[in-house]
Amino acid sequence: MRNVIISTNKLCKTFSNGGMQQHVLKNLDIEIFEGDFTIIMGSSGAGKSTLLYALSGMDKPTLGSIKFFDEEITKLSNDKLAVFRRANCGFVFQQMFLMDNMSILDNILMSGLLLSKDRKEITARAKELLIQVGLDETIWRKFPTQLSGGEAQRAAIVRALINQPKVVFADEPTGSLNSAAGKAVLDLLTEVNNKGQSVIMVTHDLKSARRGNRILYMRDGVIHGVCDLGKYISGDRERHIKLQGFLTEMGW
Ligand SMILES: Nc1ncnc2c1ncn2[C@@H]1O[C@H](COP(=O)(O)OP(=O)(O)OP(=O)(O)O)[C@@H](O)[C@H]1O
């Protein structure tokens, strides 16, 4: 029996666009399991990012509720929600902003020291993660404006992971990266997941999706299908065929 870490009850999100109501999430009842690498796929505009933002407490739903661990986060005030997110969540989104007036290492340490006072340990973890995403010592003291977009994105990912969040939310984390840098990021997310942290990732990319063990396919604001793939093993051909078959069935 697997533990449910996030569950939604009749989750709805409606946007008002030019006076028109757009129902983007429609009565979703979803369960996310502890330790899973959950992938959210689907056509453009299906509501994937909206769902990710709602599940992570970054955005409030219009109707319905979200339970995250034992906390009904939809009932929390904005301040309490911010504290909850800081303690439990890591965010790897497309637009990630590093502080321009601080070095890359200091950007990461600042996040780490919000939750821990052990500077030595946080520094060691930061350096280890930086190396894992292919950012060596030569860039640690640089400022964000001195980095390429891909380097800055990888540094921001390290910042998101420095507090070893119980759940990592990622929205197309490899979107702006070349294939080697993208692989380093996926390897890091896989490793984090293997250590027990849950990952929820929105992606359009088959290579990224293969890292997940459970795929939720969205269409028009609802979950259209679910595929259980089992744990990621590099080069597992059968898994790949199963995922492709599922996506074809979903009309991807
Ligand atoms: N803040 C907002 N205000 C108004 N409409 C929004 C807002 N955010 C999203 N939408 C609309 O909701 C719909 C779903 O958007 P969302 O970004 O969740 O889709 P998606 O499945 O992630 O798409 P993509 O794969 O193209 O990123 C889109 O039609 C979008 O225009």
Residue 82, SS3?
A: helix
Q: H helices then E strands: how many in the chain?
A: 9, 11
Q: 221 vs 19, which has greater pLDDT? A: 221
| Cβ–Cβ < 8 Å for 110, 99 | yes
Distance 40 CA to ligand 1 centre (A): 14
Assess: ipTM above 0.95: yes
With a cut of 90, say whether residue 235 has pLDDT above it: no
Q: Is 210 in the pocket of ligand 1 (CB under 6 A)?
A: no
- Kind of pairing, strands 31-33 and 167-171? unpaired
**pLDDT one-digit tens code per residue, 188-228:** 899 999 999 999 999 999 999 999 999 999 999 999 999 99
Q: 117 vs 38, which has greater pLDDT? A: 38
Pocket test residue of 13, 40, 43, 49 for ligand 1, highest count of atoms within 8 A of CB: 49
Q: Is 44 in the pocket of ligand 1 (CB under 6 A)?
A: yes
pLDDT of residue 209: 95
Residue 28, SS3?
A: strand
Q: Is 15 in the pocket of ligand 1 (CB under 6 A)?
A: yes
Q: Is 49 in the pocket of ligand 1 (CB under 6 A)?
A: yes
Q: Which residues contact 141 (CB under 8 A, 6 or more apart)?
A: 103, 104, 105
Give the pLDDT mean for 12-25.
Answer: 93
Set out the domains of the chain in order of their start, with CATH numbers.
4-250 (3.40.50.300)
pLDDT of residue 117: 86
Pocket test residue of 48, 202, 204 for ligand 1, highest count of atoms within 8 A of CB: 48
| Cβ–Cβ < 8 Å for 200, 166 | no
pLDDT of residue 153: 84
pLDDT of residue 116: 86
| Cβ–Cβ < 8 Å for 81, 56 | no
Rounded CA-CA distance 177/149 in Å is 8
Could you write out the three-class secondary structure of 122-163? Answer: HHHHHHHHHHHCCCCHHHHCCCHHHCCHHHHHHHHHHHHHCC
With a cut of 80, say whether residue 1 has pLDDT above it: no
Q: Which residues contact 83 (CB under 8 A, 6 or more apart)?
A: none
Give the confidence band of 175 by pLDDT, cuts at 50, 70, 90. Answer: confident
pLDDT of residue 165: 94
Q: Is 17 in the pocket of ligand 1 (CB under 6 A)?
A: yes
Mean of the per-residue pLDDT values of the chain: 93
Give the pLDDT mean for 124-148.
Answer: 93
Q: Give the Cβ contact number of residue 102 at 10 Å.
A: 14
Distances (CA, A) of 62 to 106, 127, 138, 166, 241: 38, 41, 46, 26, 38
Distance 26 CA to ligand 1 centre (A): 14
Distance 46 CA to ligand 1 centre (A): 7
Q: Is 45 in the pocket of ligand 1 (CB under 6 A)?
A: yes
With a cut of 90, say whether residue 149 has pLDDT above it: no
- Find the DSSP H helices in the chain: 48-55, 78-88, 104-115, 119-132, 137-140, 149-161, 179-194, 206-209, 237-250
With a cut of 80, say whether residue 94 has pLDDT above it: no
Percent residues over pLDDT 90 in the chain: 78
The model carries a pTM of: 0.93
Distance 163 CA to ligand 1 centre (A): 29
Distance 45 CA to ligand 1 centre (A): 5
Give the pLDDT mean for 154-181.
Answer: 91
Pocket test residue of 23, 24, 25, 44 for ligand 1, highest count of atoms within 8 A of CB: 24
Give the pLDDT mean for 51-77.
Answer: 94
pLDDT of residue 97: 79
Among 217, 239, 216, CA closest to 229: 239
